Amino acid sequence: MATGKRSSSKRAARKRSKRTWRWRLLQAALYTTLFAALGVAGYLVYLDRTITGTFDGRRWSIPAQVFAQPLELHAGAAIGPYALQAELQRLGYQLDPNLAAPGTYKRRGATLQIYLRAFKFMERSRPSQRIDVTFSGQHVKAVFNEAGEVPLIRLDPATIGSFFPAHGEDRLILTPDQVPPLLAAGLKAIEDRDYDRHAGFSIRGILRALWVNLRSGERQQGGSTLTQQLVKSYFLDNRRTISRKLQELAMAVILEARFSKEDLLTAYINEIFLGQNGSRAIHGFGLGAHFYFNKPISELDVSEIATLISIIRGPSYYNPFRHPQRARERRDRILQTLGRDKLIDQQQLSAALSQPLGVVASPISGGAYYPAFMDRVRAELKRYYDLESLSSEGLRVFTTIQPRKQEAVQRAVSLTLQQIETDRGLEPGLLQGAAIVADAQTGEIQALVGGRKGRVDGFNRALSAQRPVGSLIKPVVYLTALEAGLHLASPVEDTPVTVSPKFGDQWSPKNFDGEYRGTLPMVRALAESLNLATVNLGLEIGLPRIHQRFIGLVGRAPANSYPSFLLGAESLAPIEVLQMYGNFASGGFRTVPKAVIAVLDAQGRPVSHHPFDLQQTVALEHVAAINHALEIVMAKGTGRSSPYAKRGVAGKTGTSNDNRDSWFAGFDNRQVSVVWAGRDDNAITGLTGSSGALRIWNQMAAAEPIDPLQHLQNTPLTEVEYQTGLRARKSCADVVRLPIPRAAVNTMPVKPGCGIATGLRGRLQRWTGG
């Protein structure tokens, strides 16, 4: 009996234990489900806030657009019909005999008819309009619009870049009303047929893509919706895992719930990756139109829109530059789909299928992208704006670059270096170069070349390559001598000199040819770049005084405090040399080189102006004297090999120790230029300033006419013998005409037998040139 009760009690205990275990298991399952649901809900809330905030902040973040100087057309402008036609093609204008729309032109005899695009300039907006440009030779004769002759009109400026975050993505943002209807409809037809119906993902789309791909034997369609593709581009990396796919689906559903279909499609059109140009990633159809076709998206035809859509599936695989046949085949399949869906008619389909791809000749020839110049623009804008403002507020930056000149200078650098390598049997690509051209009076940078490959981001030698300038420093020594009371005919000694500094070894410089010339005038010593004469003169004046003069010209103290500074053992970047020689070119004013003219906000209101930074540094009589001397450098000295030496150009060559660096700095009445050539590893090149940098400048000068220097009208000039500095007549001596103070002229010695006659005889000789 007792045994039965114990057995019953055990069974009851086991039942209670099972019920307790089941209840605890159920509780655990409930809590797990609850916590999982809370976790998923929390994660979804987190995703919602994150992607909504990010998307809202980014979809209308409009990067600052950067514009070049527009080409001005007016009577007398130095441009012929073929050059203007090339400029229109650079801006993406299309030849159209009907002149049917803005962005087209046609030629009729000696007249170019242009349908200008509308553009919002700094001062005012200009509507689209038709103009006629007539020519007389290689100059504009007159410009007419519908109202009659106009004194001046500007082409729309080239867009040369934009500011997007530093990861290298670049794009031109389109608003919904700027999206061509065929592009929007075509994207849905090719990439996502259920776009207008699904909630972020499409089971039908996945199954349809699977069926098409199985039938074709290749991946022709993807299963991801446009919204999923947008999520991948905005928020996710390229990993292919189940968790990432689930995250993608969740994000797509949230975006669809939060934003309209039109907003999502426009964001996709602005975001999608379409190619790579060096370190610059091409995103969005707005920039893609410029990159591949060199024109705004509003001017693309049916074939070109289909080409851009074809690139989406694989920007590398369907790259029209590298794989034109593959890209054309895919474009044609897309055109067939557009025709089948009645998005284009049969006539449009036939015309589009017959067209070539029509992309620009190469990735670097589409549009205008000048990374070296953009480096300078960034540096200037950093003083006023943070990256967030530049990348999101739709600022419009107007700059100083002139694309025609930029292209000409880039060609001169690249082709001349190539020719020098060929002439000297050097390894191709061994030499590098840099060049800058600026307005002589304002310092506005019109062209800036940072290396041989102009449209590839990389080390910017024009701004960052600090190299010894060699004899480019010598005008600073001679200017200081002029300010100390000497004149260009003052005698200097080209004789051996040894300097014994307080610290370090003795220094015994030599002339380039190892010879000594004795006593000679300052102007000859500078023209022939004589080292010994320069060192003797510099030591006589005093190195501290010359250092102070350098500070006044360049705006910073020299790094070299030793006498070797007198021969250019001082490293400067080309942009600093430009500033130094700008003092001479401007007539005695230091002008900080500038790239930015003004910045406007998205509504066209001025945000900031960037005025000229002018400071007088040299007296007029002294800058006039040094400019005359630099003209003689070109005519009779180290610059005489240039075909432009005697056309009113002032300049100076420079060579660093062991012929490692080749320099030239020069200017005419309109612009100042600096050129450097050398090697990135600082190895010996064997080039002098004349055999390297001057050759590059010669090619630059060939691209546009020299504007001869204009000297002060009231500056009296005295004829002196070039070899000796004695007063003489050109009928009996090799003379140069120099601005010498009147008091000094009266005490100058005269060359025996070649004196200056006075009275009636003297007037007759001057009239007859005797």
Concerning whether 233 is annotated as a catalytic residue, the answer is no
- Mapping DSSP to helix (H, G, I), strand (E, B) and coil, where does residue 13 land? helix
User: For residue 720, what are the CA distances in angstroms to 171, 181, 487, 652, 733?
Assistant: 62, 76, 12, 21, 8
d(CA 410, CA 434): 9
> Of the listed 191, 271, 380, 493, which one is catalytic?
191
> Of the listed 202, 310, 392, 471, which one is catalytic?
471
| Residue 225 contacts residue 248 (beta carbons within 8 Å) | no
β-pair partners for 438: 445, 672
- Would residue 109 be called left, alpha or beta, if left means φ above 0 and alpha means ψ between -120 and 50 degrees? left
User: For residue 130, what are the CA distances in angstroms to 102, 112, 126, 311, 431?
Assistant: 8, 11, 12, 35, 47
d(CA 262, CA 192): 14
Place of tokens 């909630």: 199
Query: Inter-axis angle of helices 181-191 and 261-271, to 10 degrees?
Result: 90
d(CA 287, CA 544): 54
| Residue 444 contacts residue 544 (beta carbons within 8 Å) | no
Strands of the sheet containing 280-283, edge to edge, are 169-170, 280-283, 273-277
β-pair partners for 437: 447, 673
Strands (E), 403-531: 432-439, 445-449, 467-468, 491-494, 518-521
| Residue 541 contacts residue 520 (beta carbons within 8 Å) | no
Query: Which one, of 236, 234, 263, lies nearest residue 247 by Cα?
Result: 236
d(CA 155, CA 126): 10
Element (H, E) at 377: helix 371-381
Query: Inter-axis angle of helices 474-483 and 574-585, to 10 degrees?
Result: 30
Long-range contacts of 377-384 (CB under 8 A, 24+ apart): 377/66, 377/161, 377/595, 377/596, 378/163, 379/463, 380/594, 380/595, 380/596, 380/610, 381/64, 381/163, 381/596, 381/599, 384/599, 384/608
Burial of 765 (0-12, 13-18, 19+ CB in 10 A): middle
| Residue 419 contacts residue 574 (beta carbons within 8 Å) | no
Instruction: Extract the tokens encoding 501.
Output: 């500094």
d(CA 401, CA 368): 11
Place of tokens 């075909």: 643
Concerning whether 515 is annotated as a catalytic residue, the answer is no
User: For residue 748, what are the CA distances in angstroms to 236, 491, 719, 739, 754?
Assistant: 82, 11, 11, 13, 13
450-477 residues labelled b (16+ CB within 10 A) or e (exposed): bbbbbbbbeebbbbebebbbbbbbbbbb
Within 10 angstroms of residue 296's Cβ, the number of other Cβ atoms is 20
Instruction: Extract the tokens encoding 364.
Output: 């670097």
The vertex-98 CA angle with 97 and 103, nearest 5°, equals 90
User: Which residues are catalytically annotated?
Assistant: 191, 471
